């Protein structure tokens, strides 16, 4: 899952760490050469002046002489000021001194090419542009201009920066879904929205089993009264799962179907109502009005947007527009097991401010997983 994105993140981490190390080594080498040159000049000047100074005379400045006492702390004025570049960045002597003691100072120029490559890689993986920009800014803030100590490798610095950047965009809006359902007044009504063919009905069936396995009874409601065969499809799932279902004739009022399911749940002590809706395009005003009517009549406890992870930026844009039309509480991404890009999984929460709650990872009723941001980041960084 998301293997293509994993490879791109791994390439950035390796390339960035290698470049920073090379720049630090170059700074140390250049500083050492400058120190030797200065020592030779001092010795020659002393000999010419007849001062009696010998080759053993200690040079006035070396890379070690500029070593700061602690990471990120330098003395104001004097040699430290002279060691700074004209643009205010750390000079070669400071970078060399840091490198000699196992520390690394990272400048923006060190990572310019790698950050550009990462941005292109994220966009190529269908990560929404504003999300990619947020990640890059987070990485810059974490790495550039900092002197870090007490770490084993530069790769760890880059990995931690990537981890923070990913979590910042993936974990937006996360809440304890199961706890919210358990603690809410019963029945809890959850309505599912999205376009045709993305797996809403199958997701409802999967979540019916998910709740039943956790001791919460369910009833399905077929609010998709427009599509021929919709009743038959959801009824087959209900029969396979031995779950109750409420349906009306084709062409009936979707809001009335879900409302009847709520009434049934109240009368029979059912915990959760799972309401299907017609697959609708976000540009269809009539169908969007039907969704708004369900909101007014039923007042669902949650509205979940369903789309395919493989839809990438299309899924992200649809999530944004569905949320604008009838506020969603979270998203379910189907076919995540077939998605190598990962753009939708990374982008939906940041764009809508609402979390991804579940991933569909196959066709079986058990093939649904809670979306765990930290676990996903570990997987993307190869640390699962």
- Quick check: 160 pLDDT over 50? yes
Arithmetic mean of pLDDT, 261-277? 95
- The CATH homologous superfamily for domain 177-372 is P-loop containing nucleotide triphosphate hydrolases (3.40.50.300)
d(CA 109, CA 97): 19
Q: 331-362: b or e for each residue (b if 16 or more CB lie within 10 Å)?
A: bbbbbbbebebbbbbbbbbbbbebbbbbbbbe
Q: What percent of the chain has pLDDT over 70?
A: 76
pLDDT (tens digit per residue) in 170-213: 999 999 999 999 999 999 999 999 988 899 999 999 999 999 99
Q: What is the DSSP string of 165-229?
A: HHHHHHSTT---HHHHHHHSPSSEEEEEE--TTSSHHHHHHHHHHHHHHTT--EEEEEE--SSTT
pLDDT value, residue 2: 87
The tokens of 78 are what? Answer: 């004097």
Closest CA to 371 of 211, 191, 170, 199: 170
Q: Determine how many CB atoms are found less than 10 A away from the CB of residue 52.
A: 8
Q: Given pLDDT bands bounded at 50, 70 and 90, which one contains residue 30?
A: low
Please identify which residue in the block is written with the tokens 């990537």. Answer: 162
CB 313 within 8 A of CB 128: yes
Count helices and strands (H / E) in the chain: 14, 10
Residues of the chain with CATH 3.40.50.300: 177-372
Q: 89-128: b or e for each residue (b if 16 or more CB lie within 10 Å)?
A: ebbbbbbbbbbeeebbbbbeebbeebbebbbebbbebbbb
Q: From residue 263, give the alpha-carbon distance in Å to each of 186, 225, 252, 275.
A: 11, 19, 17, 13
Considering the chain, what is the average pLDDT of its residues? Answer: 80
> Which has more confidence, 122 or 74?
122
Containing H/E element for 370? strand 368-370
Which range, of 136-150, 276-290, 328-342, averages the lowest pLDDT?
276-290
Residues of the chain with CATH 1.20.120.140: 3-51+61-170
> Which has more confidence, 190 or 288?
190
CB 142 within 8 A of CB 160: yes
Fold of 3-51+61-170: 1.20.120
Vertex 72 angle, CA 17 and 106, to 5°: 25
């Amino acid at each position: 899952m998301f293997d293509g994105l994993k490879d791109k993140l791994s390439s950035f981490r390796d390339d960035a760490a290698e470049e920073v190390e090379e720049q630090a080594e170059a700074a140390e080498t250049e500083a050492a050469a400058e120190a030797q040159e200065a020592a030779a000049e001092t010795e020659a000047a002393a000999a010419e002046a007849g001062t009696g100074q010998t080759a053993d005379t200690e040079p006035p400045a070396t890379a070690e002489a500029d070593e700061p006492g602690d990471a990120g702390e330098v003395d104001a004025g004097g040699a430290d000021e002279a060691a700074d570049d004209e643009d205010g960045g750390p000079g070669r002597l400071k970078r060399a001194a840091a490198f000699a003691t196992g520390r690394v100072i990272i400048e923006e120029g060190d990572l310019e090419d790698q950050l550009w490559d990462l941005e292109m890689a994220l966009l190529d993986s269908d990560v929404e542009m504003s999300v990619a920009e947020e990640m890059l800014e987070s990485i810059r803030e974490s790495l550039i201009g900092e002197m870090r100590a007490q770490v084993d490798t530069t790769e760890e610095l880059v990995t931690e920066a990537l981890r923070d950047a990913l979590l910042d965009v993936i974990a937006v809006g996360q809440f304890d879904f199961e706890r919210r359902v358990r603690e809410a007044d019963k029945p809890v009504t959850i309505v599912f929205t999205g376009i045709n063919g993305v797996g809403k009905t199958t997701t409802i069936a999967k979540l019916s089993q998910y709740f039943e396995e956790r001791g919460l009874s369910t009833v399905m409601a077929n609010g998709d009264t427009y599509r021929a065969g919709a009743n038959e499809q959801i009824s087959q799932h209900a029969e396979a799962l031995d779950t109750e279902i409420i349906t009306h004739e084709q062409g009936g009022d979707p809001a009335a179907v879900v409302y009847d399911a709520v009434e049934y749940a109240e009368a029979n002590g059912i915990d959760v109502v799972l309401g299907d809706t017609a697959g609708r395009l976000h540009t269809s005003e009539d169908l969007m009005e039907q969704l708004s009517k369900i909101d007014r009549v039923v007042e669902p406890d949650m509205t979940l947007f369903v789309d395919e992870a493989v839809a990438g930026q299309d899924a992200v844009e649809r999530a944004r527009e569905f949320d604008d039309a009838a506020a969603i509480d979270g998203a379910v991404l189907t076919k995540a097991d077939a998605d190598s890009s990962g753009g939708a999984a990374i982008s939906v929460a940041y764009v809508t401010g609402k979390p991804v709650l579940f991933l569909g990872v196959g066709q079986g009723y058990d093939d649904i997983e809670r979306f765990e941001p930290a676990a996903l980041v570990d997987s993307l960084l190869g640390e699962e």
